[in-house]
Each structure stands twice: as C-alpha cells, then as structure tokens.
Amino acid sequence: MKAWTGIGNLIGSNMAILAPACLVFGVLFPDAFSWITPHVTVMFAFITFQGALGNNFSNLAETVRHPLPMVLSLLVSAVIMPVLVFLLGGIFFGSDPDIMCGLVLEYAVPVAVLSVMWTGLFQGNLSLTLATLLVSTVASPLTIPLTLKLLLGQTVQVDVAGMMFSMLVSIALPACAGMAVNDLSHGWGKKALSPAVAPAARILMVMVLLSNSTEVSSYVHNLTPMLVGVVVFIGLFATTGYVWGMVLARLTHQPRGSLISMTYLCGMRNISAGAVIAASYFPGEAMYPVIMGTLFQQVLAALFSEVTKRVAGESEPEADEKPLPAPSRASAR
C-alpha cells in the first residue's frame, strides 16, 4: 500500500514536468496513445468520483448559499474572456474571419471538466468547482450561440442532449456518488477510500492528458508563419484566464481552496465541445485555434499550481478541506 500511494504522490508532486511531457509524447506519437480516447469519459467519471470522496452535500449547499466565487468565475469565463479575445484577436487576425471564429469559440465554451482533476489534485474547493462547472455547462446551450451571435454575427445550434448526457455521466453522477459515499460512511470515504484510489485517479489523469495531446499532432506538423502567430497569441492569452481567477480571488479575500478553484475555473475550457461545434458549423481553419488551446491548457494548469502555492501560502484550509472525524465503530463494520 505504501508503494501504491507513493506512485500517486510522485505523480502529484511532478505535474509541472509530467504535463508538458504528456504534450510532447502525444504530439510525437499520436498513434501510440489514440486507443485512450474512447475511454476518456469513463476515466473522467472515476477521477470525479475520487475527488468527490473528499466532499459532502452540505459543502455543496454552502457554495450555493455563498455564490460570489462562482459568480465571479462564471463572469470571467462566459463574458470577460470571450470579449477580450474578440478585441485583442481582432487587432492581429481581424482580416481572417475563420481564425476569429475559432478564437471566440474557444472562449465561448463552458469550463473544462479537467478543472475538477486539477482542483482535487491541489486541494482546492471541490464544491465550488463542481457547482460552477455544472452551471457553466447547463447554461452553455444559451451562452455559446449568444456569444457567437453578439460578437461575430454567427448563428449555431448546440447539441444540448449530447452535452447534458456527457456531463451527467462524467461529472454529475460520479460526483453525487462520491459525496454520498462520504456522507453515508461518516467521513470514511475521505479518510480511507479516497487515498486508496487516488493513485489510480492520477494515473488516469496522465492518460487523459496524453489522449488530449494527440489531437493537436497533425496541426503541429503542418505549421505556417500565420499559424505560428496564432499559437503564440493563444499561449499568451490563455495565461490571462488563470491570472484573472487568481487576482479576483485575492481581491475578494477568498480562502486558499477557493483561490485554487477560481484559478482553474477561469483558465480552463472544454476544448472538446468547441472542437465539435467548430467541425459542425465552421470552415476547417476555425478548428485550428480551438484545438491548439490543448497545447497550453494543461501545461499552464501545472505551472499555475506552483504559482497558487506561492500566492495562497499555507493558509488554513476551508471547511471542506478540514479532516473529517473517523467513522464510529458501528459505521466501520
């Protein structure tokens, strides 16, 4: 058991190295890791379940009762970032409507499911992350078409049923299951079960990163000067999302766990959803900015884990991070 938990700790403490390594291997050897893609939804479900074992329904209710961090995260992800990328992108790529479509679409999509993994990995406020992710996704059939219409004059339809089913399987059900296990076991889920399965969740996280990286391989091998410029722009702009979350958390005096969650909620996007919409409604060039976001999203998430450690310091954990009491003898049987 000690060796097993050691593997999980090794992965967790070296994500700043592993994330870019996964990117390199996924880009260079896409065929070697393409088999992972059909299983990503199941992997997400397990990772979400493991993360939710450290939470409970009362903490989720507390997030709803004090919604400021969630509202700020949604404001950045659904309003500020799309408007900024439209304004700044127009300066450099305004003459190419397809590239502009891709840039705006990348930041019109909901918060990334992977934000749950990063939040759990670095002891963020999982209640805040789950609640914000669910609201962002449920609202996306309205916010995506509205954003594209207002900024670009484009009209698209979103696969509401498909997106909702994906969120149900990968987020909602496993999250509820994890919290239910923790509540019904009086904290045993967090104290014993979560550490036991955490190494498996972290291994799956690495596999998901590898799978996501394979999607950009063909684009990386066919770069032009124009496309290189788009890559540089996306890399720089993607950084600002994480910064927005961190700055707003500090300005509103959020505790450590919420700061970590807001950093990832404002910085990470559901690129897979954007890629599906781009492929369905826009020319091929619009897909490029969306997919290239994969190049930076996970690497930046790993780098900002180190930044949040310095910014948040070693402050007291939030209520949902404090150790739960051990189960009684009756409940342990």
- What the chain holds in terms of domains, given with CATH numbers, is 2-310 (1.20.1530.20)
Token couple for 84: 């900024």
* pLDDT band per the 50, 70, 90 thresholds, residue 324: very low
Is 80 exceeded by the pLDDT of residue 166? no
Structure confidence by residue, pLDDT tens digits, 80-123? 999 999 999 999 998 888 899 999 999 998 898 888 888 988 88
Provide mean pLDDT across the span 264-273.
88
- Check whether 258 has a pLDDT greater than 70: yes
Q: What is the pLDDT averaged over residues 155-165?
A: 72
| Out of 56-70, 215-229, 247-261, least confident range | 215-229
As a whole-number percent, the residues of the chain with pLDDT over 90 amount to 32
The pLDDT of residue 163: 67
* Rounded-to-5 percentages of helix, strand, coil across the chain: 80, 0, 15
- Sequence length of the chain is 333
- DSSP annotation of 109 reads S
Q: Please, which pLDDT band fits residue 241 given cuts at 50, 70 and 90?
A: very high
pLDDT(248) > 50: yes
Tokens for 196?
A: 């036991």
Mean pLDDT of 302-325: 64
Q: Is residue 333 pLDDT above 50, yes or no?
A: no
> Are 187 and 157 contacting, i.e. CB atoms less than 8 angstroms apart?
no
pLDDT at 295: 79
> In whole numbers, what is the pLDDT of the chain averaged over residues?
84
Question: pLDDT value at position 160?
Answer: 67
Predicted model pTM: 0.81
* Residue-level pLDDT at 325: 43
- Mean pLDDT across 146-156: 85
Picking from 143-157, 199-213, 307-321, which range would have the lowest pLDDT averaged per residue?
A: 307-321
Looking at residue 216, its pLDDT comes to 75
Tell me the per-residue pLDDT of 29-72, one tens digit each, with 9 for 90 and over.
999 998 998 888 888 889 888 888 888 888 888 888 889 999 99
